[in-house]
Chains A and B, each alone.
Chain A
Amino acid sequence: MAEFVSRISVVCFAASYLVALLCEISRLLFRSGIRGAVMIGFAAAGLIAHTLFLVWRAANEPAVPLSSAYDWYLLAAWLLAGGSLWLTVANPRTPIGLFMLPMVLGLIGAAQVSSRSPFPQSPATQVWGAIHGSFNLAASVAVAFGAIAGMMWLIQAGRLARKQAPIQGFRMPSLEKLARFTGRSLDIAAWAAAAGFVSGLVLNAVNRRQGLLETIPWTDPVVLRMGLVVAWLLAAAILVRTTARRAEGPRTAAMLSLVSLGVLTLSILWGLFGPTRHGVPPRAVVVESHS
Chain B
Amino acid sequence: MTLAFVGGSHHTVPMALRERLAFSADQAAEALRRFRERFPGREAVLLSTCNRVEFYAAGEHDAVPPATGQIVDFLAECRGIDAAILKPVLAGESDDAVARHLFSVASGLDSMVLGEPQIVAQVKQAWSLAQENNTAGPLTSEMFQAALRTAKRVTSETAIGRERLSIPSIAVADFARGVFERFDDKRVLLIGAGKMAGETLRYLREAGARDVVIVNRSAARAEDLAGRLGVRAARFSDLADELTRADLVVSTTGATEPVVTPELYCGIESRRGGRPLVVLDLAMPRDFDPRIGSRPGVWLYSIDDLGAACNANRKARQRELPAAVAIIEEETRRFMGDLHHRSSAPVIEQLRAGWTETGDVELERLFRRLPTLDDAARREIRQAFERYAAKLIHRPLASLRSESHSGPPHGLLDALRRLFDLKD
11 residue pairs bridging A and B, Cβ less than 8 Å apart? A31-B159, A159-B178, A160-B175, A161-B299, A163-B305, A165-B309, A174-B177, A175-B276, A176-B180, A247-B272, A247-B296
Q: Name 9 extra pairs, CB < 8 A, besides A163-B305, A168-B316, A175-B180.
A: A31-B158, A160-B178, A163-B309, A164-B312, A165-B312, A166-B174, A175-B276, A247-B272, A250-B276
Within the assembled complex, what's the spacing in Å between the Cα atoms of A173 and B174? 11
A-B interface, 4 closest residue pairs, ranked by CB to CB distance from nearest: A247-B297, A247-B296, A163-B305, A174-B181
Alpha-carbon distance between A235 and B399 when the two chains are bound, in angstroms: 78
Would you call B159 and A248 a contact (CB within 8 A)? no
Q: How far is the CA of A243 from the CA of B274 in the complex (A)?
A: 9
Quick check: A246 and B162 within 8 Å, CB to CB? no
Q: A31-B158, A244-B274 are in contact. Are A165 and B181 (CB under 8 A)?
A: no
Q: Which residues of B contact A244 (CB under 8 A)?
A: 274
B→A interface (CB under 8 Å): 156-159, 162-164, 170, 174-175, 177-182, 269, 272-276, 295-299, 301, 305, 308-309, 312-313, 316
Which residues of the other chain, B, contact A245 by a CB distance below 8 angstroms? 273-274
Q: Which of A163, A248, A251 counts the most B-chain CB atoms under 10 A from its CB?
A: A163
Contacts of A160 in B (CB 8 A): 175, 178-179, 299
Complex contacts, B179 vs chain A, CB 8 Å: 160, 174-176
CB distance from A137 to the nearest CB of B (A): 29
- Chain B residues contacting A156 (CB-CB under 8 Å) are 178
Set of chain A residues within 8 Å of B273, measured between Cβ atoms: 245
A 21-38 to B, binary, CB cutoff 8 A, 1 in contact else 0 = 000000000010100000
A249 located at the interface, meaning its Cβ lies under 8 Å from any Cβ of chain B in the complex: yes
Tell yes or no: A177 within 8 A of B by CB: yes
A172 at the interface (CB under 8 A from B): yes
Residues of B within 8 A of A172 (CB): 178
A251 to B276, CA, bound (A): 12
- Known contacts A33-B156, A33-B157; A247 and B178 CB within 8 A of each other: no
A243 CB to nearest B CB, Å? 8
Q: Do B309 and A248 touch (CB < 8 A)?
A: no
A262 to B73, CA, bound (A): 77
CB distance from B293 to the nearest CB of A (A): 9
Residues in A whose Cβ lies below 8 Å from that of B298: 247
Q: Are B170 and A165 touching (Cβ within 8 A)? A: yes
When the two chains form their complex, are residues A177 and B316 in contact, meaning their CB atoms are under 8 A apart? no
Measured CB to CB, the nearest residue on chain A to B312 is A165
Q: Kindly identify, within residues 1 to 51 of chain A, every residue whose CB is under 8 Å from any CB belonging to chain B.
A: 31, 33
* A177 nearest in chain B by CB position: B181
Q: How far is the CB of B154 from chain A (nearest CB, A)?
A: 12
Instruction: Please indicate the chain B residues that have their CB under 8 angstroms from the CB of A165 in the complex.
Output: 163-164, 170, 174, 309, 312-313
Q: Is A246's CB under 8 angstroms from B308's CB?
A: no
Residues of A within 8 A of B309 (CB): 163-165
Asked whether B159 lies within 8 Å of A168 as measured between CB atoms, the reply is yes
- Residue in A closest to B302 when the chains form the complex, CB atoms: A163
Please state if A248 and B180 are interface contacts (CB–CB under 8 Å).
Answer: no
Contact assessment for B181 and A247 in the assembled complex, using a CB-CB cutoff below 8 Å = no
> Which chain A residue has the least Cβ–Cβ distance from B300?
A163
Docked-complex contact A174 and B296, CB < 8 angstroms: no
What are the residues of chain B within 8 A of A161 when measuring CB–CB? Answer: 299
Contacts of B275 in A (CB 8 A): 247
Query: In the complex, what distance in Å separates the CA atom of A245 from the CA atom of B275?
Result: 7
For A173, give the chain B residue with the smallest CB separation.
B181
The residue on B at minimum CB distance from A162 is B305
Complex CA gap A248/B297 in Å reads 7
- A174-B177, A174-B179 known; A163-B158 Cβ under 8 A: no
Q: Which residues of B contact A164 (CB under 8 A)?
A: 309, 312
CB neighbours (8 Å) of B164 from chain A are 165
Tell me the bound Cα distance from A248 to B295 in angstroms. 10
Contacts of B180 in A (CB 8 A): 174-176
Contact A246 B178 (CB under 8 A): no
Across the interface, name the chain B residue whose C-beta is closest to A164. B309
Q: B155 to nearest A CB, angstroms?
A: 10
B51 CB to nearest A CB, Å: 26
Min distance, Cβ A125 to any Cβ of chain B, angstroms: 45
Contacts of B175 in A (CB 8 A): 160, 163
For residue B272, which residues in chain A have a CB less than 8 angstroms away from its CB? 247
Q: Which chain A residues lie closer than 8 Å to B177 at the CB level?
A: 174
Against B, the Cβ 8 Å flags (1 = close, 0 = not) of A128-161 are 0000000000000000000000000000100111
Minimum distance in angstroms from A78 CB to a CB of chain B: 29
Closest to A178 in B: B181
Residues of A within 8 A of B178 (CB): 156, 159-160, 166, 172, 174-175
A247 touches B174 (CB 8 A): no
User: Which residue of chain A is the closest to B298 with respect to CB atoms?
Assistant: A247
Give, as a whole number of angstroms, the nearest-CB distance from A167 to chain B.
Answer: 10
In the bound complex, residues from chain A placing their C-beta under 8 Å from that of B299 are 160-161
User: Do A248 and B296 contact each other (CB < 8 Å), given the known contacts A159-B178, A176-B181?
Assistant: yes
Within 8 A of B (CB), among A229-280: 243-251
CA distance A243 to B309 in the complex (A): 33
Q: How far is the CB of A115 from chain B (nearest CB, A)?
A: 43
- Of all chain A residues, which has the CB nearest B278? A160
Residues of A within 8 A of B269 (CB): 247
Residues of B close to A159: CB separation below 8 A: 178
Distance of A33 Cα from B323 Cα, bound (Å)? 14
Cα distance, A160 to B182, chains bound together (Å): 17
CB distance from A80 to the nearest CB of B (A): 23
Nearest B-chain residue to A159, judged by Cβ: B178
Bound-complex Cα distance A175 to B313 (A): 22
List, in ascending order, chain B residues with CB within 8 A of A249's CB.
274
B170:A247 contact, CB within 8 angstroms: no
The interface residues of chain A lying within 8 Å CB-to-CB of B157 are 31, 33
In the complex, how many angstroms separate the beta carbon of A153 from the nearest chain B beta carbon?
11
Given that A174-B179, A174-B180, A244-B274 are known contacts, is A163 also in contact with B308, CB under 8 Å in the complex? yes
Chain B residues positioned under 8 Å from A163 (CB to CB): 175, 301, 305, 308-309
Min CB gap A127→B, angstroms: 41
